[in-house]
Structure 1
């Protein structure tokens, strides 16, 4: 099995930080199921102050198709409608949406 690792960074709006944390403390089961159906594993989000870092591993064969499948899911769309307004892009990186993908420069198994 091939594993591709992804890291991304974002920023929380200070007035929405607690809501975002609470949403993820009680993530919707159907959202978690869809993440797994789309071949993502070891998905984690870390937070310090208003900065978010996400990490996940992709194990599928067609990343774009799996991401399109996730984006088309009604429950996932509703989840994003709750989460995305709590966030803003990292300063200077607004072209990618609220999450800015990071380039992996080191990995050790």
Structure 2
């Protein structure tokens, strides 16, 4: 996504592989996401955030309603609670081929949308 996002909603889909040996742990963590992590997601202008599972693939969808996605993602990455959360969830995931350096999830292009 470009650094500057126009006013409005930007829909983002991402994928990553779930390590089968960590699937139960990952699902358990997401049954009770820490409130401070959820608060940071909201503070970073992310709305309507979902993660779906198909076998060993995870698909996330969210809507970004801010003006500067990169700045909001830096804010999230600097948050101590989010860092602790990622230390638990990242080992459960395996980055897919083509995922940019410094990213965990691979953003995928939208091919169709209808309101």
Scaled by the length of structure 1, the TM-score of the pair is 0.94
| Residue aligning to 1:10 | 16
| 2:84 maps to 1:78 | yes
Q: 2:94 aligns with which of 71, 88, 94?
A: 88
Q: CA deviation at 1:35?
A: 0.1
Report which of the two has the higher share of helix: 1
Consecutive unaligned residues in structure 2, runs of 5 or more = 1-6
| Residue aligning to 2:27 | 21
Give the superposed CA RMSD.
Answer: 1.1
Q: Distance in 2 between matches of 1:25 and 1:50?
A: 18
Q: Distance in 2 between matches of 1:95 and 1:4?
A: 20
Q: Distance in 1 between matches of 2:62 and 2:23?
A: 22
Per-residue deviation, residues 52-89 of structure 1 (Å, max 9, x unmatched)? 00000000011111000000000000000000000001
Scaled by the length of structure 2, the TM-score of the pair is 0.89
Consecutive unaligned residues in structure 1, runs of 5 or more = none
Q: After the TM superposition, which segments of 4 or more aligned residues of structure 1 sit over 4 Å from their partners? A: none
Q: Distance in 1 between matches of 2:55 and 2:113?
A: 26
**For this pair of structures, how many residues does the alignment match?**
108
